[in-house]
Amino acid sequence: MSSSPRVSPTSTPAAPATPAAVTPMGWMHTARFLTTAAQLHHLPEMDTPEIAFVGRSNAGKSTCINTLTQKKQLAFASKKPGRTQHINLFALGKQGITDTVLADLPGYGYAAVAKMDKLRWQQVMANYLVSRENLTGIVMMCDPRHGLTELDDILLEVIRPRVEEGLKFLIILTKADKLTRAEQAKALSIARLQAGGGEVKLFSALKKQGVDEVAKLLWDWTHPATGMAPAPAPTAPPEEEPEALDE
Ligand code: GDP
């Protein structure tokens, strides 16, 4: 367990630092809770692209999702009693037009979870990652001070065939503010070797490092046709309810 104070993203949208991130950040801010499921067959079948967030417990996954979506509590809903071992789905896109789903998978490796529950959950996660048809990409959170753990490696092996077939993959090195520049560079190069063709990005919720970049990457994954479209010029920081998004 970390002794550091909880990092709280603001509930209002952050002003993107780069024009290219205006649309992705506005899109991220449309995130809303969709549903929660304890078992795979309880998940709704969807034909929209889905991006799964996975990571060891305490890696910074909830904080990262909350920071990307600029919603204080969104992913902490996944930490409410009774929901910690659920797959929680969040919808992205203009109200009524979900164009992407974010899937927050339970953090693994938490010591206090009974062994049987751990094994059951590893199985549910593996089945989800291997069989979810609309899965477009996987984002793995990793605390670079600990590096990839044994459970991360197992998960990497599970998804490797799908990544080789074209599934998008990103490793986010969280809590980058805790590393010096030299340590960040070293962590990046190690993770790049392990990512097997996937991307690696440094991220700090505290310093808002990497937020725009990750939002833009996820936008590009799920909007390939518009990925190169110029973003609207930033006139003012987006309001609480962002402007209509480009199709
Ligand atoms: P999860 O279990 O993977 O969802 O992890 P949390 O999002 O709950 O984060 C675990 C701990 O790491 C909390 O104490 C957070 O405040 C802290 N944390 C998360 N992101 C950052 C960050 O970017 N910088 C720092 N310094 N701490 C962070």
Give the residue extent of every domain in the chain. 33-215
Distance between CA atoms of 158 and 84, rounded to whole angstroms? 22
Other residues' Cβ atoms within 10 Å of the Cβ of residue 164: 10
Query: For position 15, what pLDDT does the model report?
Result: 65
Distance between CA atoms of 174 and 197, rounded to whole angstroms? 19
Radius of gyration in angstroms for the set of CA atoms belonging to the chain, rounded to a whole number: 17
For CA atoms 188, 208, 111, 161, give the dihedral sign: negative
In this predicted structure, the answer to whether residue 139 has a pLDDT above a threshold of 90 is yes
Q: What is the CATH number of domain 33-215?
A: 3.40.50.300
Buried-exposed string 113-147: b where 16+ CB fall within 10 A, e elsewhere: beeeebeebbebbeebbeebeebbbbbbbbbbeee
Ligand 1 atom closest to residue 204's alpha carbon, by position in its atom list: 23
178 lines ligand 1 (CB under 6 A): yes
Length of the chain: 247
pLDDT digits (tens, 9 = 90+) for 64-121: 999 999 998 888 866 766 666 789 999 999 888 999 999 999 888 877 777 887 788 8
Which phi and psi (to 5°) does residue 85 adopt? -110, 30
77 lines ligand 1 (CB under 6 A): no
Query: For position 89, what pLDDT does the model report?
Result: 95
Q: Among residues of the chain, what percentage have pLDDT more than 70?
A: 82
pLDDT digits (tens, 9 = 90+) for 3-57: 455 666 555 556 676 888 999 999 999 999 999 998 889 999 999 999 999 999 9
- 28 alpha carbon – ligand 1 mean position (Å): 19
pLDDT digits (tens, 9 = 90+) for 186-211: 999 999 999 988 999 999 999 999 99
59 lines ligand 1 (CB under 6 A): yes
pTM recorded for the entire structure? 0.86
CA distances from 22 to 13, 15, 165, 230 (A): 10, 8, 31, 10
